[in-house]
Amino acid sequence: MSSKKVNLSRRRHLKTSAKFLSFALLLTEVDIAWGAKILGVRIWPSEDYTRITLESDTPLPITQQILTNPDRLVVDVQGLELNPTLKDLVAKVKPNDPYVSQIRVGQFQPGIVRLVFDLKEPIKPQLFTLDPIGEYNYRMVFDLYPTTPLDPLMALVKSSAKKESALEKSNEEIDLIAQFANKKEKEVPRNPVAQAIPENKPLPAPAKYQRLITIAIDPGHGGEDPGAIGAAGSREKNVVLSIAKRLRDKIEGEAYMRPYLTRDGDYFVPLHVRVQKARRVEADLFVSIHADAFIESRAKGASVFALSQMGASSSMARWMANKENASDLIGGINIKTQDRQVANLLLDMSTTAQIKDSLQVGNSILKQIGGFAPLHKGKVEQASFAVLKAPDIPSILVETAFISNPQEEARLNDDGYQDRIAEAILQGIKEYFSKNPPVARRVNS
């Protein structure tokens, strides 16, 4: 039955009686509801934001209200009847969700489902809809952001405070010893005390690093965006998060470095936000970690990519960049947000110097990986990856192996391989910074 027909009959009934009217109204709503089916409900909690996704076979209009005392977000979805899939959402809220304490779902009116999100704190919601893409049908997306976003730099400074002061202290000691040694050299002929210092005591290496080096580690994909999926079902987003955490732990073990993860859980981070986050923490290096697929399952070997301003270095590199850049479409971003426009302006800045440094660090890492794993190509490739566009941070993307190659998929799930890849990236980073120590920053007061 078409809704036009129902409307016509509604008009006719209008004249007859109120009883008929309500019957006709009901028909209209049921008519819409018959077309709509909820295919999936997903919730992705994180400190950054909590995302709730409803997937349907038809685009459905949504309206929102924010209520306080207590804090709630009320969303009405039109053209929908309550069904078991929708009710599943209630059980999917995790107790450690930073923003949502519970979700209530009910039939508000015939044809209107009401979702009430009980909140742990006030939030800034972003509600939007997405057209079908990839494996997904229509999606309604509710992103719940904190009203005061966390400051990643403050958190990082706090968590690395001990290391920072240890570095300062060791630098001071090194300076003192150097001064003393200098003095001793000059005073040797007439100062017997200085001569008493044992000659064979090894002096520590001179201070190389005036401050902690911040490494932004960027595990690709996440949440709604699974990344590439292997024949055995491995998801790129999980494999790369695991490798990224290993790299984080290794960097944490270095006295003069501190790690920062652009995501530490299973949630989606838009490409421009990854770049913004790295800039917010004043990263000295940005390393994006992936494990992608190619049309041919024979394709194998690790590769390292840097940004290109003048076209891709190969058709494969171009293909990879296009694939990675599609992450925002699969993961789903609200194209109306203003910060995206700001980000686009920033990305137009020159990246010539950045690319030069990126190629250097990329080659160091590639050399390390080549020591134990097959390489797809023996040099750093270049293409227009959106995630590598920070104008002021050397940025590389490591394809740790092809998840589309069954042999490599197995290796990617292997603890030993994950650890060796992380170690190779660490050694490449160390080699690069030993040749290019970062300059001291102006002290902010």
Contact residues for Zn ion (CB under 5 A)? 220, 227, 290, 292
User: How far is it, in rounded angstroms, from Cα 398 to Cα 387?
Assistant: 12
DSSP string, 375-399: BSSSS-EEE--GGG--TTS-EEEEE
CB of 155 to Zn ion, least distance (A): 26
Q: Which residue is nearest to Zn ion (CB)?
A: 290
Residue with smaller CB distance to Zn ion, 111 or 270: 270
Residue with smaller CB distance to Zn ion, 222 or 227: 227
CB of 220 to Zn ion, least distance (A): 4
CB of 289 to Zn ion, least distance (A): 9
CB of 320 to Zn ion, least distance (A): 8
Q: Positive or negative CA dihedral for 376, 401, 420, 426? A: positive
236 Rama sector, left if φ>0, alpha if ψ -120 to 50, beta otherwise: alpha
DSSP string, 262-293: S-SSS----HHHHHHHHHHTT-SEEEEEE---
Token output for 221 = 């994909």
Residue with smaller CB distance to Zn ion, 220 or 428: 220
User: How far is it, in rounded angstroms, from Cα 145 to Cα 339?
Assistant: 14
Do 73 and 117 form a contact (C-beta atoms < 8 A)? Answer: yes
CB of 10 to Zn ion, least distance (A): 52
Which residue shows structure tokens 């009883």?
A: 19
Residue with smaller CB distance to Zn ion, 117 or 417: 417
CB of 243 to Zn ion, least distance (A): 12
User: How far is it, in rounded angstroms, from Cα 392 to Cα 388?
Assistant: 10
Residue with smaller CB distance to Zn ion, 277 or 290: 290
User: How far is it, in rounded angstroms, from Cα 277 to Cα 256?
Assistant: 21
Residue with smaller CB distance to Zn ion, 218 or 292: 292
Task: Find all residues with CB under 8 Å of 428, minimum gap 6, and list them.
Answer: 361, 364, 365, 366, 367, 368, 369
CB of 327 to Zn ion, least distance (A): 7
311 Rama sector, left if φ>0, alpha if ψ -120 to 50, beta otherwise: left
Residue with smaller CB distance to Zn ion, 79 or 222: 222
The three-class DSSP label of residue 432 is: helix
User: How far is it, in rounded angstroms, from Cα 130 to Cα 141?
Assistant: 8
Residue with smaller CB distance to Zn ion, 218 or 254: 218
CB of 246 to Zn ion, least distance (A): 18
User: How far is it, in rounded angstroms, from Cα 404 to Cα 162?
Assistant: 43
Residue with smaller CB distance to Zn ion, 354 or 404: 404
CB of 69 to Zn ion, least distance (A): 44
Distance between first and last Cα of the chain:
70
Token output for 111 = 């044809």
Residue with smaller CB distance to Zn ion, 144 or 330: 330
User: How far is it, in rounded angstroms, from Cα 177 to Cα 190?
Assistant: 20
CB of 288 to Zn ion, least distance (A): 8
H or E stretch covering 315 = helix 315-325
